[in-house]
A = this chain, B = another copy of it.
Amino acid sequence: MALIVQKYGGTSVANAERIRSLASRVGRFKKMGHQIVVVVSAMSGETNRLIGLAKEITLDPDPRELDVIVSTGEQVTIGMTCLALQELGLKAKSYTGSQVRILTNDSHGKARIIDIDGQNMQKDLDDGYVVVVAGFQGCDANGNITTLGRGGSDITGVALAAALKADECQIYTDVDGVYTTDPRVVPEARRLEKITFEEMLELASQGSKVLQTRSVEFAGKYKVKLRVLSSFTDEGEGTLITFEEDSKDENMEEPLISGIAFNRDEAKVTVLGVPDTPGIAYQILGPIADANIDVDMIIQNQGADDTTDFTFTVHKNEMDKALDIIRKQVQPNIHAREISGDDNIAKVSVVGVGMRSHVGIASQMFRTLSEEGINIQMISTSEIKVAVVIDEKYMELAVRVLHKAFELETA
């Protein structure tokens, strides 16, 4: 008997038929003797419908009240999921984020989980219930409803698995695992049986849509065994996300590169010609962080005449806000020569745990892109990835040629 947390995304609960199919799968796991916690998202399209309602009132809704509205999406799904489970003769009980008490901070719309009280759920599980929890939501210390931001249902799943010491957290989605890259861009893309947490983390942060970065971080931190599966088929084992040590033992000759990730949601903000003095990075990025804008890549390079050039990327939706802050709050102190933004960019990354010991990966990547005449605007590297920013229009071409250059279509 194992305790398994199963998380189902919006397409997996899109309508009554899909919810019934979910219930059948849960029923099969129950029959095997497992204890099951189900985490569900809002029915697909529902969150956007609710945001649309709010936008009918105001284009800049108060985050607290927007959370009150948007969190109803998952609340409807937990009720419907319980009804479907009960129709199969299973005992089922729903929990909103507030009812579990998934305690978060008070950053509405992008709250972070502080603590989860697993006691009531554990009691229900021991009493034979399937516990169904609303993903994506929690409440702060004052009982205000919060949401974790888009993709937050994955985090809920992983956090519940950690709190309940679950044996496995299964993420059901509309793809049957993690691929070497998006099969819509490269038809030859191949499903990976296993991937390390670190690689998954890079893939997620580089824009792979299968799992959200924060949920992978969370899983790594609490050593939650994570598996990505398709809710549209009962075939296949999906992709298991493992700790590096485990996977190394089994496959000494693992491939260097596990995948190509891409992301067109970012925009870059460039600040040219600022005095090259200590503290300048903080002067620029401090106000951005204070405004709760997430920054991804940050690059600083020497400029002309004792000045330095500074570039960072933010989500496209926040570029204007970031530029506004730089121009109004930062510029009076730093007197930059030029401040500009560009949202016609894309980020393409080559990810692989094997690459840290192989210096040739980066040069192979740059050569492949240059052969196609694709100009590189920014470069950022970590131990297990090389990411470049290029003109958005070349993104798909870049992904295809890199997938081929690194021979990812063959295992």
Contacts and interface: CB of A to CB of B under 8 A. Distances in A.
Interface of A: 15-16, 19-20, 50, 53-54, 56-58, 61-62, 64-69, 71-72, 75-76, 78-80, 82-84, 86-87, 92-94, 96, 98-99, 143-145
A94 B80 contact: no
A99 B67 CA distance: 14
A98 B99 CA distance: 10
Contacts of A58: 83-84, 86-87
A294 B2 CA distance: 46
Contacts of A84: 57-58
A56 B23 CA distance: 14
Contact of A19 (B19, B57, B61, B69): B57
A87 B145 CA distance: 21
A53 B76 contact: yes
B57 A68 contact: no
Contacts of A64: 93-94
Contact of A99 (B16, B53, B93, B143): B143
A57 B94 contact: no
A83 B61 contact: yes
A67 B144 CA distance: 20
B98 A82 contact: no
A82 B62 contact: yes
A353 to B, nearest CB: 43
Contacts of A54: 79-80, 83
Contacts of A79: 54, 65-69
Given A65-B94, A71-B75, 15 more contacts: A15-B56, A16-B53, A50-B76, A54-B80, A54-B83, A62-B82, A62-B86, A68-B78, A68-B96, A69-B76, A69-B79, A72-B72, A75-B75, A99-B143, A99-B144
Contact of A69 (B62, B65, B80): B80
A79 to B, nearest CB: 4
9 contacts: A56-B80, A57-B80, A62-B83, A62-B86, A65-B94, A68-B94, A71-B75, A98-B98, A99-B145
Nearest to A67: B79
B50 A16 contact: no
Nearest to A94: B68
A121 to B, nearest CB: 13
Contacts of A71: 75
Contact of A72 (B53, B62, B75, B83): B75
Q: Which of A19, A58, A65 has the largest number of chain B CB atoms within 10 A?
A: A65
Nearest to A98: B98
A102 to B, nearest CB: 13
A53 B84 CA distance: 11
